[in-house]
A = this chain, B = another copy of it.
Amino acid sequence: MDIVKFSIPEIIFGRGAMKYAGLCAKRLGAEKPMVVSDPGLREAGWVSRLFDVLAAEGLEWCYFEDVVSNPRDTQVGHGALFYAEQKADVIIALGGGSPMDAAKGIAIVVGNGGSIHDYEGANRIHRPLPPMVFLPSTAGSGSDISQFAIITDTRRRLKMTIVSRTLVPNISIIDPMLLVTKPHHLVLAAAVDALAHAVESYVSVIASPFTELQSLKAIEIIAAHLPRAAQESSLDVLESLSIASTAAGMAFSNASLGADHALAHSLGGMFDVLHGEVHSVLLPAVMRFNLEHAMAKLAHIGKILTGKKWKSARTAALAGIEAMESLFLSLGMKHRLRDLVPDRDQLPTVCRMAAQDACLLTNPRPATWEDLLSICEEAW
């Protein structure tokens, strides 16, 4: 086995865990943390709930919510200025992947100067970041666990993948109660994102025993709970999905991802589509593309997804992909690329950009942009 690295934040998990946010920030030296969230969470009442927790610890804070889905370079710039103006000392992110990735972008610029574009790619951050406490409000992005930040470059209309060990937050506080106010379709989209993280990290060329364990656990839990999640958003289901998302986060943060995520980033950057809606369209096509290069592992996934033993690895793998497609259909998720992309002629541009994405490096089957185009054509 090659030398592998495994790094995750300190995790505090459970219903009501948000109450530890102030204590955690103080442990990291906070006197005036900057809270990064978004209007949706403020309207749902969670932001003021967090302020109460901070106030109870005698903390001051400043608040930043200039964040949209697929957070932008410009917003990161504004946030970094705001952090400096306010003389903040710790970053607390509350939200889904977008506020969390925006918070990471802000932390990079605050700690390292320059513009967020300077840090695109792997291991380009050389100075320490301010301490980070993250509270995820979706069970999917895994940003609270991972070394990844995805920021949209508004000029080039693409998503920059930024990877660095320093992007692992210090503490992730995962409180499944935060998910209760999420619209149902967002809960499902996030769970499918977590499933994609689990599948892609499992077949990654740098998967290790430490990450494979987490990938499989996440797949198992999501396969068992996603159908129920489509019927109800009970706290039990949301807790299970949160456990799965956390496990998938541990896996992909350390084993990276593959062609599905490379394409999802490219599509998100160009067309501002919701990240969680891309995988139901692309993941099965990418798994088929990878078939010969990850047969045993895809067979294992097939066994979990179908709950059956199969005669050959190939039939197991294919049955798994079909079971996944049926599940997505039954959940009413998008299943053709034409439902997401306005114009087929733009696919070559999408694929050329995806071919540059850091996630593609760990796909089990090497892929040129033309390969990616054929995946997209299959999924059209």
Interface status of A12 (Cβ within 8 A of chain B): yes
| Contacting pair B6 A11 (CB below 8 A) | yes
Within 8 A of B (CB), among A1-29: 1-8, 10-17, 20
Closest partner residue, chain B, to A19 (CB atom): B3
Provide the residues of chain B in CB contact with A262, threshold 8 Å: none
A15 to B239, CA, bound (A): 38
How would you classify the secondary structure of chain A's contact residues: helix, strand, loop or mixed? mixed
Interface residue stretch chosen among A33-41, A93-101, A209-217, A319-327: A209-217
Smallest beta-carbon distance A51→chain B, Å: 21
Q: Does A208 contact B (CB under 8 A)?
A: yes
A20 partner residues in chain B, CB cutoff 8 A: 3
Q: Is the CB of A6 within 8 A of B1?
A: no
Determine whether A30 belongs to the interface, using a CB cutoff of 8 Å to chain B. Answer: no
A186–B355 CA distance with the chains assembled, in angstroms: 50
Are A14 and B4 in contact (CB-based, < 8 A)?
yes
Nearest chain-B residue to A209 (Cβ)? B243
Contact at A7–B3, with CB atoms within 8 Å? no
**Contacting residues, chain B, for A1 (C-beta < 8 A):** 13-15, 239
Partner of A11, one of B7, B15, B16: B7
**Once the chains bind, are B17 and A13 in contact (CB under 8 Å)?**
no
| A247–B209 alpha-carbon span in the complex (Å) | 10
Tell which of B2, B5, B10, B217 touches A6, judged by Cβ atoms closer than 8 Å: B10
| Interface set, chain A 42-65, CB cutoff 8 A to B | none
Q: How far is the CA of A118 from the CA of B269 in the complex (A)?
A: 56
Asked if residues A213 and B210 are in contact (CB atoms below 8 Å), the reply is no
Per-residue interface assignment for chain A, residues 236 to 249, with 1 indicating a CB less than 8 Å from any chain B CB and 0 otherwise = 00010001001100
Expressed in whole angstroms, the minimum distance between the Cβ of A4 and any Cβ of chain B is 5
The interface residues of chain B lying within 8 Å CB-to-CB of A246 are 210
Q: Which residues of B contact A165 (CB under 8 A)?
A: 10
In angstroms, Cα B208 to Cα A15, docked, is 13
Nearest B residue to A213 via CB reads B217
Contacts of A5 in B (CB 8 A): 10-13
Indicate if the CB atoms of B217 and A11 lie closer than 8 Å.
no
| A216 CB, nearest partner CB in chain B, Å | 9
- Cβ of A16: which chain B residues have Cβ within 8 Å of it? 3
User: Can you add 7 more A-B contacts, CB < 8 Å, to A4-B14, A213-B213?
Assistant: A2-B14, A3-B14, A3-B15, A8-B8, A10-B165, A210-B246, A213-B247
Closest 4 interchain pairs by CB? Answer: A3-B14, A6-B11, A7-B10, A209-B243
Q: 27 A-B pairs, CB-CB below 8 angstroms?
A: A1-B14, A1-B15, A2-B14, A3-B12, A3-B13, A3-B15, A3-B16, A4-B13, A4-B14, A5-B10, A5-B12, A5-B13, A6-B10, A6-B11, A6-B13, A7-B10, A8-B8, A11-B210, A13-B208, A209-B217, A209-B243, A210-B246, A210-B247, A213-B213, A213-B214, A213-B217, A213-B247
Q: Which residues of A line the B interface, CB within 8 A? A: 1-8, 10-17, 20, 165, 208-210, 213-214, 217, 239, 243, 246-247
